[in-house]
Amino acid sequence: MPFFDYTAVTSEQKQVQGVVDAATLDAAMSTLTDKGLLVVSLKARAEPRGLGSELGIFNRVKVKDVVIFSRQLSVMVSATLPVVQALRILTKQIDNVSLKIIVSEVADAVDGGARLSDAFGRYPKVFSHFYVSMIRSGETAGKLDEVLSYLADQQEKDYDLMSKTRGAMIYPAFILFGLAVVGIIMMVYVVPKLTEILKETGTQLPITTRLLIGTSNFISAYWWAIILAVGGAAAALIYYRRSEAGRKQLDYLVLKAPIFGPVILQKIFLVRFTRSLSTLLAGGVAISEALKITGEVVGNEVYRDLILKTVKEVEDGNSIATIFETSEVMPTMVSQMLAVGEQTGRIDTVLVKLSDFYSREVDNAVSNLVTLIEPLVLMLMGVAVAIMVAAVMLPMYSLATGV
């Protein structure tokens, strides 16, 4: 339904402004009149005023902001506070300006007669399809407080998981970036001066020094070509990633990436799959619809295709584990436990246990990887520094000793 902006006067002669959700202009007018309002102006708008559909770099709503908002809303609704009142209170407490505007408009829409799920659904870049579907299931079942609480729990778990994974990558990324910067500075400024000195001596240079000088000369002469090549490769990768075939191919390569693929990334996608599906099923969403939504939020095209094939199997009356049993990216334990859960009628409980298991697996893998990466990065730095020092010092040593 479209939104209508209105200005009206209350029975106390106080002017108010807001938004009403109705099928037509006449229906919006009737809704406001039934509330005892004297309508001064009423006009439709195609999209909400907020920033939800056009979020940029500087007004982006972070995942952490949505997690905190969801938890606060669940607490207020569980305390039997009316949804509109809870949203109004949260509007005053939210620090993120974009989210503040969005929640304010959601409150206006709900106050105007819209369902909470429909109001959230108008901001797909902030509230995902999964999020909106969970809210809708809670409204339909009359368990909005329970669903909000469950949704907040799952969001917090997802956020903690991704924070741990990203945090584990910060240290090695920082070290490698610093190493690359130092290497470029050496190649562009230090090595050319060393080359001038060594040319004047006419000394026979060792292979490491010749390689270092050759690399330096190439970077100095063709730096623009290197930048263009890197930029072109990045643009080509982004363009390829936007195609359906490209997404599938790259996502498959991600799953097969050495160390990171099978040890961490596959398990992260499995956590998303099991946790999202269990949350939707616990919220009362039908299994075929829950699988469709999970396929959209799992974040990997290989798993998405696998889940969508499973939807067709389920709709045809087959077991949910039929497709999973033949897939190389789905562990045997998952398909077997899903089959058992389906037979016993406790598939949501099985999914929760699988989610907890793979969450612990990811935590352990990340911890072990951090322990392993630190000495590997230090070793890499040591080798790089040793090569550079040898390339610079060996000819100097030859000059000093006359060898």
For residue 307, what is the domain's CATH number?
A: 1.20.81.30
| Residue span of the structural domain in which 7 resides | 3-45
pTM, two decimals, is: 0.67
Same domain, 395 and 320: yes
Q: Where are the beta strands (DSSP E) in 37-163?
A: 38-45
In a domain, 41, yes or no: yes
Q: What is the mean pLDDT of the chain?
A: 81
pLDDT 10s digits, 8-23: 888 788 887 777 766 6
In a domain, 58, yes or no: no
pLDDT 10s digits, 296-352: 878 888 998 999 899 988 888 888 888 888 888 888 898 899 888 888 888 888 998
Same domain, 139 and 259: no
pLDDT 10s digits, 346-384: 888 899 899 889 888 888 887 787 777 778 878 887 887
Cβ within 8 Å of residue 110, ≥6 positions away: 83, 84, 87, 116, 119
Alpha-carbon torsion, ordered 108, 109, 111, 117, to 10 deg: -130
Q: Which residue has the higher pLDDT, 170 or 361?
A: 361
In a domain, 358, yes or no: yes
A 10 A CB-CB count for 319 gives 16
Same domain, 342 and 214: yes
- pLDDT above 90 for 56: no
For residue 25, what is the domain's CATH number?
A: 3.10.20
Q: How far apart are CA 101 and CA 123, in angstroms?
A: 11
Same domain, 214 and 187: yes
Same domain, 303 and 381: yes
Same domain, 123 and 266: no
Q: SS3 sequence, 10-30?
A: CCCCCEEEEEEECCCHHHHHH
Q: What sign does the dihedral 196-201-206-207 (CA atoms) show?
A: positive
Cβ within 8 Å of residue 105, ≥6 positions away: 19, 48, 49, 50, 119
Q: Count Cβ atoms within 10 A of the Cβ of residue 231 and give its class: 0-12 exposed, 13-18 middle, 19 or more buried.
A: exposed
pLDDT of residue 54: 46
Same domain, 87 and 226: no
Number of compact structural domains in the chain: 3
Beta-bridge partner residues of 15: 9
- pLDDT above 90 for 229: yes
- pLDDT above 60 for 53: no
Same domain, 38 and 84: no
- pLDDT above 80 for 193: no
Same domain, 270 and 390: yes
In a domain, 322, yes or no: yes
In a domain, 162, yes or no: no
Confidence band, pLDDT 50/70/90 cuts, at residue 203: low
- pLDDT above 70 for 78: yes
In a domain, 56, yes or no: no
pLDDT 10s digits, 233-256: 999 999 988 888 888 899 888 888
Same domain, 120 and 267: no
Q: Which residue has the higher pLDDT, 308 or 262?
A: 308
pLDDT of residue 400: 66
62 φ, ψ to 5°? -75, 155
In a domain, 175, yes or no: no
Confidence band, pLDDT 50/70/90 cuts, at residue 230: very high
In a domain, 269, yes or no: yes
Same domain, 224 and 316: yes
- pLDDT above 50 for 275: yes
Q: How far apart are CA 269 and CA 322, in angstroms?
A: 19
Same domain, 190 and 289: yes
pLDDT of residue 3: 67
